[in-house]
Structure 1
Amino acid sequence: MGLRIGYAAGAFDLFHVGHLNILKHAKSQCEYLIAGVVSDEILERAKGHLPVVPLAERLEIVRNITYVDKVYAEVLPDKLQVWEELRFTVFFKGDDWRGTPEGKRLERAFAEVGVEVVYFPYTVHTSSSVLRTALELINHPVGPEDRIHGVQR
Structure 2
Amino acid sequence: MVVGYAAGAWDLFHVGHLNVLRHARAHCDYLVAGVVDDDTLEVTKGHRPVVPVTERAEIVRHVRFVDEVFVEHQPDKLATWGQRPFDVFFKGDDWKGTARGLDLERRFAQVGVRVVYFPYTVHTSSTVLRRALAALEGGGRADPAAVVGGD
Verify same fold: TM over 0.5.
Answer: yes
Identical aligned pairs, as a percentage? 62
Q: Deviations over 1:107-150 (max 9, x none)?
A: 0010111100000000000000000000111111349xxxxxxx
User: How many residues were matched structurally?
Assistant: 141
Unaligned 5+ segments in structure 2 are 142-151
Partner residue of 1:14? 12
Partner residue of 1:55? 53
**After the TM superposition, which segments of 4 or more aligned residues of structure 1 sit over 2 Å from their partners?**
none
* In 1: Cα distance, 2:138 partner to 2:70 partner: 34
Contact 2:44/2:75, CA 8 A, preserved across alignment: no
Partner residue of 1:117? 115
Q: What is the aligned-residue RMSD (CA, Å)?
A: 1.1
The alpha carbon displacement at 1:22 in A equals: 0.3
* In 2: Cα distance, 1:133 partner to 1:94 partner: 21
Larger Rg: 1
1:1-153 aligned within 5 A: 3-142=1-140
DSSP-derived class of the 1:107 partner: helix
Q: State TM-score, norm by structure 2.
A: 0.91
* In 2: Cα distance, 1:131 partner to 1:101 partner: 27
The alpha carbon displacement at 1:100 in A equals: 1.2
Q: State TM-score, norm by structure 1.
A: 0.90
